[in-house]
Structure 1
Amino acid sequence: MAPVVPSSQPWVEKYRPKQVKDVAHQDEVVRVLTNTLETTNCPHMLFYGPPGTGKTTTALAIAHELFGPELYKSRVLELNASDDRGINVVRTKIKDFAAVAVGSGGRQGGHPCPPYKIIILDEADSMTEDAQNALRRTMETYSKVTRFFFICNYISRIIEPLASRCAKFRFKPLSEDVMSSRIVHICREEGLNLDSEAFSTLSSISQGDLRRAITYLQGAARLFGSSISAKDLISVSGVIPQDAVQALLASCRSGDFELANKEVSNVISEGYPVSQMLSQFCQLFEVIVEANDISDEQKARICKRLAEADKCLVDGADEYLQLMDVASNTMRALCNMPMEFSYE
């Protein structure tokens, strides 16, 4: 297999922290896991939180630091969402790997190499309930020789018997300061120039997801070269320009149905995803929520319509009709028109 050319390597992998202490913003997690590296006393672990906050990176880093490059392949089993992880896989592949005993351990090449293996189950919340139930017995039976690392976005989708067997670690969304420091480091290494507006825009559109921010940055660098503006980042991210969102909101405030229809049609014709528009519309709606000239009832009705439209889009409803429904009902609320017609 030919070696990977550094310049062609995704920056997400190129700048992925190799050690637990390098993981950003997760201070409590790093503190506990650093102690785990010193004592090699490692429980089953459950990492949960938003995407792009370092969950998988942390699990891989601690596994590499425990076993080193030589023992890693034989001591660590990684399974992610691309693998079939139904009950049959739990009963065969996972159980067979967990059951095999290892040596008594001892330091090798500066790594602790404790006498157990690690199974990393990424996106564990996508596992079926039957598969999760099948893991309960496996975890108990082979706990002396195997540790499980569960990684998920939603801890509510992990059955309680599994969650109660693990030490839980919540990964927080990254703050703008933390993300900026990492982005500055990457820009310095790659020779990129970003102004303050571009940094702020990148933080805003990535919403605390450092992986997404790095991906946007690399995409913009490939398209626009070393000097990257806020407009360049928006164009590669798929985020709808604020002008389009503001124009739709302004049409709702005007009370002109034809103008609102025109703006909705523009959104559809430009190919913008309506779910993204609703997400950004909700951000603008925060201004409306804080307005004193709109009653609480009107605010509640608009929020209800936004939620209903979002649910309909998930179920496959027509994008134009749902966005038109949100616009017309927002217009009624802002212009003190009746929100609903009564047929009684």
Structure 2
Amino acid sequence: MSFFQPHVPKAQKQAADPQHQPWVEKYRPKTIEDVSAQEHTVAVLRKTLTSSNLPHMLFYGPPGTGKTSTILALARQLFGPDNFRSRVLELNASDERGISIVREKIKNFARQTPRAQAVASDGKTYPCPPYKIIILDEADSMTQDAQAALRRIMELYARITRFCLVCNYVTRIIEPLASRCSKFRFKPLDPSSTSTRLEQIASAENVPVDADTIQALISTSHGDLRRAITYLQSASRLAMSTTPPSKITPRDVQEIAGVVPDAVVSDFATALGIEQIGGDGMDVDMDNTGRTKEKGFDGVRGKVREIIREGYSASQIISQLHDHVVHHPTLTARQKAKCALAFAEADKALCDGADEELWILEVGLRVHKAMSSES
């Protein structure tokens, strides 16, 4: 028996099968032109490719809007595949980024003089400017001391090193650090941009999706494209796992996203006395099984028990019921205000660890009272 292991080339070890790759990484923008819906930022950064003069930058905005993808795509266009690893240092929130890391790892990389440009292996010409880029992803999680130590490093090595701070909350970046950077705000993606990108990915992966499914992906992701792509991949795997493969439905997307299906929220709202949006105004006294619906306290309590048995989150139910009430076209301002007060008190109680069933029942009864008192 041989104790020697067969030699596997390093490149072969690291090669990832595209079939098993998360779609978020597979379809990450390769150039800044591929970045969706951030026209102003892309226009400014496009000019840096021609001038090769890059300032320190601060990218901020909600998750999944393309902040990290944009700076990585820009770095690849500046340095090319050969120089990318030697010219770019990326530190994420998973790395320890206290003051010791700033003083050692970041400072050591920042002080190194960039090597001369090598001929690109892919035959393309890259600007390859005479500086390096340090990307600090989720910089708002850095300690105050670490951020303070970073100020001097940014000044000392500005000639050969540029910093790009990426964060969700710009207010957590200390002002002396923020003032040294050009700020770029990334806004949540609009529905049309998200829809276009999701349709491109679905087409590339041969996943049939209709307009309702795309709308469900957009509404559950709230402008976070990364989340929408992840939901699409999960839903496609769920649909392909059946025999024969089924079609992705909006309800599938809502189940994967942990969102309460619209039909459940609408049914609960009807039990509370809220008129159905787009309904014919008729009061239906029979449920789906042909039995007479209970009304008043017993009806609300029965519906709450159904929701709890299904295992839906109380905070999610209250959040979606809030949106249903606030956007309802026929409710009065007084009714909406009474409901909003009940939702706010329930949200606070649930955050403090209160019983979910009792508070859904409390909200249901108060909403029912608000509807019946002015009917």
User: What TM-score, normalized to structure 1?
Assistant: 0.88
**Structure 1 residues 194 and 138, CA gap change in structure 2 (3 angstroms):** same
What is residue 188 of structure 2 aligned with on the other side? 173
Q: Unpaired runs of 5+ in structure 2? A: 1-12, 275-294
Q: 1:78–1:122: 8 Å Cα contact kept in structure 2? A: yes
C-alpha separation between the residues in 2 aligned to 1:207 and 1:18?
A: 24
1:281 aligns with 2:321: yes
What RMSD over aligned residues (CA atoms) do the two structures have, in Å?
2.4
What is residue 306 of structure 1 aligned with on the other side? 343
**Structure 1 residues 283 and 83, CA gap change in structure 2 (3 angstroms):** same
What is residue 148 of structure 1 aligned with on the other side? 163
CA-CA distance at 1:62 after TM superposition: 0.7
1:224 aligns with 2:227: no
| CA deviation vs aligned residue, 1:175-213 (integer Å, no higher than 9, x gap) | 221112112211221112112221222221222211111
Q: 2:325–2:336: 8 Å Cα contact kept in structure 1? A: no
C-alpha separation between the residues in 2 aligned to 1:40 and 1:106?
A: 17
Q: Read off the aligned partner of 1:270 and give its amino acid letter.
A: E
Query: Which of the residues 96, 112, 116 maps onto 1:84?
Result: 96
What is residue 113 of structure 1 aligned with on the other side? 128
1:326 aligns with 2:363: yes
1:48 aligns with 2:48: no
**Structure 1 residues 323 and 166, CA gap change in structure 2 (3 angstroms):** farther
Q: Unpaired runs of 5+ in structure 1? A: 338-344
CA-CA distance at 1:220 after TM superposition: 1.3
Query: Which of the residues 245, 254, 257 maps onto 1:237?
Result: 257
| CA deviation vs aligned residue, 1:137-184 (integer Å, no higher than 9, x gap) | 222222222211111122222222222211111112112211121122
**Structure 1 residues 185 and 273, CA gap change in structure 2 (3 angstroms):** same
C-alpha separation between the residues in 2 aligned to 1:40 and 1:251?
A: 63
What is residue 123 of structure 1 aligned with on the other side? 138
What is residue 285 of structure 2 aligned with on the other side? none
The count of aligned residue pairs is 334
Q: Read off the aligned partner of 2:248 and give its amino acid letter.
A: I
**Structure 1 residues 104 and 3, CA gap change in structure 2 (3 angstroms):** closer
What is residue 341 of structure 1 aligned with on the other side? none
1:208 aligns with 2:228: no
C-alpha separation between the residues in 2 aligned to 1:268 and 1:85?
A: 43
Equivalent position SS for 1:30? helix
What is residue 194 of structure 1 aligned with on the other side? 209
Q: Give 1 or 2 for the bigger CA radius of gyration.
A: 2
C-alpha separation between the residues in 2 aligned to 1:117 and 1:80?
A: 17
**Structure 1 residues 336 and 112, CA gap change in structure 2 (3 angstroms):** same
C-alpha separation between the residues in 2 aligned to 1:199 and 1:176?
A: 10
| CA deviation vs aligned residue, 1:31-77 (integer Å, no higher than 9, x gap) | 00110111111111111112111111101101111111111111111
C-alpha separation between the residues in 1 aligned to 2:351 and 2:149?
A: 31
What is residue 279 of structure 2 aligned with on the other side? none
1:293 aligns with 2:332: yes
Q: Read off the aligned partner of 1:162 and give its amino acid letter.
A: L
What is residue 29 of structure 1 aligned with on the other side? 41
CA-CA distance at 1:292 after TM superposition: 5.3
C-alpha separation between the residues in 1 aligned to 2:98 and 2:363?
A: 40
**Structure 1 residues 265 and 156, CA gap change in structure 2 (3 angstroms):** farther
| CA deviation vs aligned residue, 1:77-124 (integer Å, no higher than 9, x gap) | 111121122222222222222222224669855111112111111111
C-alpha separation between the residues in 1 aligned to 2:140 and 2:356?
A: 29
1:259-274 mapped onto 2 (5 Å cutoff): 259-274=299-314
Q: 1:106–1:113: 8 Å Cα contact kept in structure 2? A: no
1:86-105 mapped onto 2 (5 Å cutoff): 86-103=98-115
Equivalent position SS for 1:228? coil
Percent sequence identity over aligned pairs: 50
Point out the more displaced range, 199-208 or 242-251: 242-251
Equivalent position SS for 1:169? strand
CA-CA distance at 1:311 after TM superposition: 4.1
C-alpha separation between the residues in 2 aligned to 1:82 and 1:325?
A: 41
Point out the more displaced range, 199-208 or 323-332: 323-332
**Structure 1 residues 161 and 275, CA gap change in structure 2 (3 angstroms):** farther
C-alpha separation between the residues in 1 aligned to 2:361 and 2:172?
A: 34
CA-CA distance at 1:276 after TM superposition: 2.1
1:250 aligns with 2:270: yes
Q: 1:52–1:212: 8 Å Cα contact kept in structure 2? A: yes
